[in-house]
Amino acid sequence: MQQPRAPLRLTGTLVAQFFRFRCERQLRYDLVPEGERGPDVPRLNADPAAGPLVGPRPGSELLMRAGRRWERRKLDELLRRFGEDRVRVRGWTAGGEPLRLPYPETVAALRDPGAYEFLVQPELRLPDPEGFARRWGIDPALVRIAPAQPDLIRVHRRPDGTLRFRVIDIKASREATVAHYAQVAFYNVLLEEICRAEGIPGRPDRRWGAIWSRGTRGPKRFRLGAYRFHVEEFLRRDLPRIAALAPAEAAWHVDAASAGCPYFHHCRAEAERTD
């Protein structure tokens, strides 16, 4: 069994991609940080003459730009509706994108939100990543959980004075997908760990998450329970097992849904050689 050169790295995006493609090989490839990838992980093809063995999805950069513009429009709507005194935004980049709310400021806002009802791009950084990993049966020397940034956390003040924090993600797609729901559920798990470890009196909303897509006028909530269950099963069962494999040992498949995967041409070529 081959050991990685450096700890593998799990992000919220990789969780979403796993629930989208359900491909263990793709996850095992992508867990390796780009700067640490060796010959066992296909690299993006920079030579057009060599054929599209590994490459980004056509038009992916345009889609990303459109997604960022959509996110900015939705944040502008939020600010117009609720006002700057109720939406915590750290600032904006020169390109008009929201700045990340650093972890200490995120914790301070969760502990005492004051008048704020929304936190924009809050950083979710596990205060004890090794302890978190061990509780889920993950070898902390093998896999690191990267800091995450949901688009929004909404602060709900309950009648008894307690706080509940709902994770909201903004998506430029027309409809929300299982992958989107799973990503929100993953953020919810991280947020719960942060509230516990930091002694924050509020708690994440375990009943509801929300997606703000093109098909909705505002954030549309969804029942979180089933998605949290599957994300927890992923952390507890799938991730430790897949991370311990060499990339060549991970299960894989090629089907119609694989066309959006950057490794599609690589895997299809392998399937044609070996089938």
Report the chain's mean pLDDT, rounded to a whole number: 91
Give the pLDDT confidence of 232-271 residue by residue, as tens digits.
Answer: 999 999 999 999 999 999 999 998 888 888 888 888 888 8
Q: Beta strands 220-223 and 208-212: pairing type?
A: antiparallel
pLDDT at 260: 83
The whole-number pLDDT of residue 147 equals: 98
User: How many residues does this entry show for the chain?
Assistant: 275
Q: Is the pLDDT of residue 83 over 90?
A: yes
pTM: predicted TM-score of the whole model, two decimal places: 0.92
Residue 162: exposed, middle, or buried by beta-carbon count in 10 A (0-12, 13-18, 19+)? exposed
Closest residue by Cα to residue 29 from 44, 18, 40: 40
Residue 23 is encoded by which pair of tokens?
Answer: 């491909």
Q: How confident is the model at residue 4 (pLDDT cuts 50, 70, 90)?
A: very low
pLDDT band at 68 (very low <50, low <70, confident <90, very high): confident
- Identify whether the C-beta of residue 54 lies closer than 8 Å to the C-beta of residue 266: yes
Lowest mean pLDDT among 95-109, 140-154, 214-228, 257-271: 257-271
Q: For 46-63, write each residue's pLDDT tens digit.
A: 555 666 677 766 666 666
What percent of the chain has a predicted confidence (pLDDT) above 70? Answer: 92
What's the confidence (pLDDT) of residue 19? 98
**Is the distance from CB of 24 to CB of 242 less than 8 angstroms?**
yes
- 10 Å CB burial of residue 274 (0-12, 13-18, 19+) is exposed
The burial of 80, by beta-carbon neighbours within 10 Å (0-12 exposed, 13-18 middle, 19 or more buried), is given as exposed
Q: How do residues 171-225 score in pLDDT, each as one tens digit?
A: 989 999 999 999 999 999 999 999 999 999 999 999 999 999 998 889 999 999 9
- Asked if 188 and 225 count as a contact pair (C-beta separation under 8 A), the reply is no
User: How big is the CA angle at 189 (ends 249 and 219), to the nearest 5 degrees?
Assistant: 110
